[in-house]
């Protein structure tokens, strides 16, 4: 990492364990001092009242761990579902970001009804996202749109539509390799389309044939090639590990007594994700 002083590693530590103390232990063991906080002590961070968020922050501060982003579920509801209650959760999430002293909030652009053309919902998506983007600007936070499967912005073209409309100081893009692969979106094509807008990277990889998530560099996400270009062009920001490797059994080293594990322990999967990324950075 010595060469890459312009980047920081982070990750979804709730994949290590629901327990915050255990999350912190593993992060520190790996030399990481940032977390993309999604779940903590068995609940989503956005479900906590602000006084309890302050206590979580105290525990992080005591261990010199900082948030890279609030890993929120904002925008991860059906586009046909009422928006007002969700917008109230969004406002609460903005307050949580302020308590946590982090500008970034990860968000999505709403699930599309199965089998329907997403363009049918273009106007409603843009109305909702625009309302959130305006609120973000008013309250000095930065929304990071993730290319999640089955939402409006799941493929590169629709992600670019959102960026062309809303990109700016308070609305930017997350690039997630595996999610694009799982949508059968070529990641190199997506990267070229979205390169000007990328402010944050989720590091996970997947296989084209079946969408299985695998360690970075072992799938069809072109992770090393894209990171080489991104870092070579001066990217400054976070590489956030999102292992999703609990079911991964692809390496002989993960076998015990000749039988593959049914589930990989959280610490092992997070460590494998970390080590796979470190190998890619060394190769670059």
pLDDT tens for 236-272 read 999 999 998 866 666 544 444 444 456 789 999 999 9
CB under 8 A, 24+ apart: contacts of 51-59: 53/96, 53/99, 53/100, 54/99, 56/20, 57/99, 57/100, 57/101, 59/20, 59/21, 59/24
- Rounded to whole angstroms, the Cα distance separating 124 from 27 reads 40
Parts of the chain with a pLDDT under 50: 252-260
User: What is the pLDDT, as a whole number, of residue 9?
Assistant: 97
User: What is the pLDDT, as a whole number, of residue 175?
Assistant: 98
Helix (H) or strand (E) holding 161: helix 156-166
- Rounded to whole angstroms, the Cα distance separating 214 from 178 reads 9
User: What is the pLDDT, as a whole number, of residue 164?
Assistant: 98
The residues facing 105 across adjacent strands are 70, 143
User: What is the pLDDT, as a whole number, of residue 3?
Assistant: 63
- Rounded to whole angstroms, the Cα distance separating 228 from 211 reads 23
- Rounded to whole angstroms, the Cα distance separating 47 from 54 reads 13
For residue 78, the 8-state DSSP code is B
Q: What is the pLDDT of residues 125-135, one digit of tens each?
A: 999 999 999 99
Q: Can you say whether the dihedral through the CA atoms of 113, 37, 6, 4 is positive or negative?
A: negative
């Amino acid at each position: 990492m010595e060469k890459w002083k312009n980047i920081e590693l982070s990750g979804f530590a709730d994949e290590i364990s629901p327990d915050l103390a255990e999350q912190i232990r593993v992060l520190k063991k790996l030399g990481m001092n940032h977390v993309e906080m999604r779940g903590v002590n068995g609940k989503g961070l956005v479900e906590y009242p602000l006084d309890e968020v302050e206590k979580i922050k105290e525990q992080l501060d005591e261990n010199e761990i900082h948030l890279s982003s609030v890993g929120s579920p904002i925008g991860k509801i059906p586009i046909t579902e009422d928006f007002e209650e969700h917008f109230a959760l969004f406002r609460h999430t903005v307050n949580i970001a302020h308590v946590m002293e982090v500008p970034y909030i990860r968000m999505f652009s709403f699930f599309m009804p199965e089998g329907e053309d997403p363009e049918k919902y273009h106007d409603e998506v843009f109305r909702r996202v625009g309302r959130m983007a305006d609120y973000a600007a008013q309250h000095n936070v930065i929304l990071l749109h993730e290319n999640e499967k089955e939402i409006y912005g799941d493929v590169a073209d629709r992600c670019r539509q959102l960026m062309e409309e809303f990109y700016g100081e308070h609305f930017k893009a997350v690039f997630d390799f595996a999610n694009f692969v799982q949508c059968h979106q070529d990641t190199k094509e997506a990267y070229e389309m979205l390169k000007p807008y990328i402010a944050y990277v989720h590091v996970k990889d997947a296989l084209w044939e079946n969408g299985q998530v695998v360690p970075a560099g072992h799938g069809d996400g072109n992770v090393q090639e894209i990171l080489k270009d991104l870092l070579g062009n001066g990217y400054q920001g976070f590489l956030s590990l999102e292992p999703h490797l609990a079911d991964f059994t692809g390496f002989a080293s993960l076998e015990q007594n000749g039988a593959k594990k049914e589930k990989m322990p959280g610490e092992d999967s997070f460590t494998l994700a970390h080590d796979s990324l470190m190998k890619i950075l060394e190769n670059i």
